[in-house]
Amino acid sequence: SAAPILNEKKQQCGAVMVFQDVSETLAMSVQMTYLSHHDQLTSLPNRVLLHDRLTQGIARASFNDTKLSLLLLDLDKFKFINDALGHHIGDEIIAHIGHSLDCFACNDITVARVGGDEFALVVPHESHSLSLEPLINQVLNVISKPFRSGGEQHILSASLGISVYPDDANCVEEMLRHADSAMYKAKNEAANSYCYFSTDLQVEMNKRLDVGNKLRKALENNAHDVHYQPKYDLRSGEMVGVESLVRLSDDEGGFISPLNFIEYAEETGLIFRLGEQVLEKSCISAKRWLDAGVPTKVAVNISAKQFTDSKLVDTVAMILEKTQLPSKYLELEVTESALIENYEYAVNQLKLIANMKVSIALDDFGTGFSSYGYLRDLPVNCVKIDGSFVQDMHTSPVNKVLVSSINDVAKAIGMSTVGEYVESALAMESLRAIGVDFAQGFAIAHPAPLDNFVRL
């Protein structure tokens, strides 16, 4: 700033000039702007800048009558890497991916890091018909190049979801949402898959949203239903127990099968509350039957995700205590997917449960990996032979041999066996002839709500 120096005649005879060094302040404000627009770990644009670039991109595409694509990329199993190898290695991997993707950044393409293990590419199309496939393949190739860190080699993979302005979205929020839905779809496919947003996907997403809302509402009010399906002793013809199967009511007075919401519940973590409520309802029913003089063991399905809950064992103990059901009337049905991720931990959990004298059934045995190691290591009381073998065993000699051999192995090491999906008298006869202990299926009874069940 400058100020004049005046003499007595008010004429200017000099000036006072004050200089102030603002480089630090300026540098600071540049730095602040940079920080608020970039990710620290990778130095890539962050979500804020991505939003800005998308807004500009859309404006330009609209003006030029071209298209703009958003590629959303999410690393597969990154949480697992982080948990298993530590955040330090996790950070290194993110930095490495950020660096690798940076080679796609140019005047036209923005590469951003939008969250933990999520990256985005904003790609303007020169003309209407630009094919994205070459770029997509390059991106996936870059990700899957082996990478060394912490003395180990890592092979990473990612899932890509793509939305295109103006084909399937006409604002930034919609582009982000649709790319996210498409990415979610790609996640359910093989590693290194990509998926475009589509109206089918939209329908699927809406259904998911709907089922999610129904599930949340049901959980809030403890308002889901539990149906019971009996298991029969093939020798005595008596009912020896029931399996409890959860149901949600739909809008038409019918029921939604758990096949449509268990996966959702697992992904969103709602399974913990659902599992607990189903367990409690099942135990209350079993206690009622016991008090009424018809002691009936109830088998409750426990999903893989529930095994990651360190409170599972305590929850089972707490519910038995609360409902006053003797533990021998409770069985837990588990599938191998519950065990496979963290085997030792799952084995320990099962042993603690078995110590409470709660019995354990291995569900859907014969599909997946169905390792004999499970039969050896786990405190399993009962093997449920997968329904796909039982369903048509009387017409398929191969299935019959498989049922028979699973049955022989299980029985030889002291476990009981159940054939599920028994849909005909013939299948029931075949099971009896083979020496399977119990049968469960539509030929005997469909799963039914509590009141019908009591009558049965």
Task: Sketch the per residue contact string, 386 through 405, with ligand C2E: x for CB under 6 A, - otherwise.
Answer: -x------------------
Question: Residues 101, 246, 358, 375: which binds ligand C2E (CB under 6 A)?
Answer: 246
- Cα–Cα distance for residue pair 29/36, rounded to 1 Å: 10
What residue ranges in 398-450 does DSSP mark as E strands? 416-419, 438-439, 448-449
Choice between 280 and 333, CB closer to ligand C2E: 333
Closest-CA residue to 126 (of 60, 80, 173): 60
Beta-bridge partners for 261: none
Choices 139-147, 227-235, 295-303, 320-328; region in contact with Ca ion by CB under 5 A: 295-303
391 binds Ca ion (CB under 5 A): no
In the block, which residue shows the tokens 């709602």?
Answer: 270
Choice between 96 and 231, CB closer to Ca ion: 231
Choice between 91 and 423, CB closer to ligand C2E: 423
Cα three-residue angle 287-289-295, rounded to 5 degrees: 95
Which partner from the list ligand C2E, Ca ion, none does 303 bind, CB cut-off 5 to 8 Å by kind?
Answer: ligand C2E
364 binds ligand C2E (CB under 6 A): yes
Which partner from the list Ca ion, ligand C2E, none does 258 bind, CB cut-off 5 to 8 Å by kind?
Answer: ligand C2E
Choice between 180 and 333, CB closer to Ca ion: 333
Q: Is 148 exposed, middle or buried (0-12, 13-18, 19+ CB in 10 A)?
A: exposed
422 binds ligand C2E (CB under 6 A): yes
Does residue 301 sit in helix, strand or coil? strand
* Residue count, binding to ligand C2E (CB under 6 A): 22
Question: Residues 311, 442, 449, 456: which binds ligand C2E (CB under 6 A)?
Answer: 442
- Cα–Cα distance for residue pair 189/201, rounded to 1 Å: 14
Closest-CA residue to 345 (of 318, 312, 308): 308
| Residue 406: C-alpha distances to residues 189, 371, 416, 433 (Å) | 31, 11, 11, 14
- Cα–Cα distance for residue pair 69/444, rounded to 1 Å: 55
Question: Residues 45, 230, 419, 441: which binds ligand C2E (CB under 6 A)?
Answer: 441
- Cα–Cα distance for residue pair 110/56, rounded to 1 Å: 11
Question: Residues 138, 257, 324, 371: which binds ligand C2E (CB under 6 A)?
Answer: 257
In the block, which residue shows the tokens 């699927």?
Answer: 204
Q: Which one-letter amino acid corresponds to residue 257?
A: S
Question: Residues 16, 259, 398, 412: which binds ligand C2E (CB under 6 A)?
Answer: 259
Q: Which one-letter amino acid corresponds to residue 201?
A: L
Shortest approach of ligand C2E to residue 229 CB, angstroms?
6
436 binds ligand C2E (CB under 6 A): no
Task: Sketch the per residue contact string, 329 through 368, with Ca ion: x for CB under 5 A, - otherwise.
Answer: ----x-----------------------------xx----
Which partner from the list ligand C2E, Ca ion, none does 124 bind, CB cut-off 5 to 8 Å by kind?
Answer: none
Shortest approach of ligand C2E to residue 185 CB, angstroms?
22
Question: Residues 272, 421, 438, 453: which binds ligand C2E (CB under 6 A)?
Answer: 421
Q: What value does the CA radius of gyration of the chain take, rounded to a whole number of Å? A: 31
Q: Which one-letter amino acid corresponds to residue 56?
A: Q
Please say whether the beta carbons of 300 and 331 come within 8 A: yes
Residues that bind ligand C2E (CB under 6 A): 229, 245-246, 257-259, 262, 275, 278, 301-303, 333, 363-364, 387, 421-423, 441-442, 447
